[in-house]
Amino acid sequence: MTNVLRLAIVDPHDAHREALKRMLLGMDMCWLEAESSRYEFFSDIVAQTHPEVGVIGLDADPQKALQLMQNLRETSPECAILAVSSSTDGQLILKAMRSGAKEFLTQPVGIEELLLALERIAAQRAGGSQGRGRGCKILAIAGATGGVGATSLAVNLGCVLAMREPNSVALIDLDLSLGDADVFLDTIPDYTIVDVVQNISRLDFQLLRRSMTKHSSGLYLLPRPVQLQDISLITPDDLQRVFGLLKATFSHVIIDVSKAYNRVDMSALQVAHEVLLVTQLDLPCLRNVVRLMASFEAVDGLKEKVQIVVNRIGLDNGHISLKKAKETIGRDIYWRLPNDYRVMVEMRNNGVPLVDQAPRAAITQAIVALAEHLSGVIPESEPVTPDAKGRWLSFWGRTKARTGTLPPA
């Protein structure tokens, strides 16, 4: 998981502040909590928003800026100060350090030095305390062939994770031509991934959240473009920036990748911490798993992140056995999802996630257990099996308060 630093910035010099802000917004390790153009207000802003780093531009009025640093050292000692100035005067640097600055950067600030300074601050904080609780897990859901159940899993896993405190979860539909995550969630989004990509430089975290569609489970959706022509506007580089922003904003980002395995899909697989590759127990699917795994070897670290999820177990007596499937693909099966066509079709047609539509169904419980497992609630070694009543429901004890039917704990 990636830790995220929350920052606040003050610089009366608009151009300097905007330049720094743009740089910070593009960094996946940063969350810009607040900004100000007045030194006078900054102590209060820090006291209210509790950023981990205060970025202070000195050029507009070095004396006031130094005084502000001294105040912050007293009132908000947990906020690490990063001073920025056009001056390289040794006396000023010394004064800034004595006033409490942890880092001093000279204008124009380069992205690498800024990143290094922030990493030093992050490392100090992690070493000095329990570490920061915030972080983001990026899960890519891929499929071994069309219609294998990848979107069903992505949407329902997203809803289950979103209902659990203190998660905040985003689902990105990267099936850019035919994606249907919005249908599963019965939503008509105002904005799509194209709007976010086109406005990335002026997006802050508030605006990003407002550009996404929030489902009643708490899940935020960033859907595929409306027009096919708009797909060409999305490049892997743009996507990296979108992922950077999402990483700093959400605790979980779930990416429903397309079956094209194009450049956009591959960039998502690279950025993911874990890839769930959904397959069924038939020969074409298993053969594709083998082919995909062989191709993934060409990408550094990708193969190791892939976990095999077998969907629709029990669909067909003629299916290949799990044992044979394991031998064929040469990997363990990470998770098994039972077949339940009626429940799944109703869920999609009604646009109601499984946790609401069929909370007690075996397929729902298997996805709930997967969410628990991914959240580290169930240790790796512990087998995930239902209790005597067929329940996997310890998870529900910690769900967010919400309307809708929840199964008993």
The footprint of ligand ATP (CB under 6 A) covers 143, 146-152, 175, 259, 311-312, 337, 339-341, 344-345, 348, 363
Smaller CB separation from ligand ATP, 151 or 251: 151
Kind and range of the H or E element at 120? Answer: helix 111-128
Least distance (Å) between residue 344 CB and ligand ATP: 3
Contact 261, 268 (CB under 8 A): no
Within the chain, what is the greatest distance between any pair of CA atoms?
Answer: 80
Smaller CB separation from Mg ion, 76 or 151: 151
Q: How far is CA 159 from CA 25, 217, 296, 377, in A?
A: 27, 6, 29, 17
For residue 82, which of 94, 96, 92, 62 has the smallest C-alpha distance? 96
Handedness of CA 148, 146, 266, 32 (dihedral sign): negative
345 interface partner picked from Mg ion, ligand ATP, none, CB below 5 to 8 A per type? ligand ATP
Contact 71, 46 (CB under 8 A): no
Question: How far apart are the C-alpha atoms of 394 and 372, rounded to whole Å?
Answer: 9
Smaller CB separation from Mg ion, 52 or 256: 256
Question: How far apart are the C-alpha atoms of 9 and 56, rounded to whole Å?
Answer: 6
Sequence-distant (6+) residues with CB within 8 A of 2 are 28, 29, 135, 136, 247
Classified as helix, coil or strand, 311 is: strand
Helix axis angle for 362-374 and 150-162, nearest 10°, is: 60
SS3 content of the chain, % helix, strand, coil (to 5): 45, 20, 35
Q: Which residues, 150 to 189, sit near Mg ion by CB under 5 A?
A: 151
Smaller CB separation from ligand ATP, 66 or 347: 347
Smaller CB separation from Mg ion, 265 or 372: 265
Least distance (Å) between residue 319 CB and ligand ATP: 13
Residue with tokens 């929350």: 6
Smaller CB separation from Mg ion, 151 or 213: 151
Smaller CB separation from ligand ATP, 20 or 148: 148
311 interface partner picked from Mg ion, ligand ATP, none, CB below 5 to 8 A per type? ligand ATP
Please give the order of strands across the beta sheet that includes 213-214: 213-214, 220-222, 169-173, 252-256, 137-143, 274-279, 306-313, 333-338
312 interface partner picked from Mg ion, ligand ATP, none, CB below 5 to 8 A per type? ligand ATP
Please give the torsion angle defined by the CA atoms of residues 400, 404, 408 and 409, in that order, rounded to the nearest 10 degrees.
-10
Tokens of residue 380, six digits = 């790796």
Classified as helix, coil or strand, 304 is: helix
Least distance (Å) between residue 32 CB and ligand ATP: 35
Contact 171, 150 (CB under 8 A): no
149 interface partner picked from Mg ion, ligand ATP, none, CB below 5 to 8 A per type? ligand ATP
Smaller CB separation from ligand ATP, 66 or 222: 222
Smaller CB separation from ligand ATP, 79 or 170: 170
Least distance (Å) between residue 227 CB and ligand ATP: 19
Least distance (Å) between residue 239 CB and Mg ion: 18
Least distance (Å) between residue 216 CB and ligand ATP: 20
Least distance (Å) between residue 311 CB and ligand ATP: 5
240 interface partner picked from Mg ion, ligand ATP, none, CB below 5 to 8 A per type? none
Least distance (Å) between residue 143 CB and ligand ATP: 4
Least distance (Å) between residue 387 CB and ligand ATP: 22
Q: What angle do CA 373, 374, 379 make, to 5 degrees?
A: 40
> Which residues lie near Mg ion (CB under 5 A)?
151
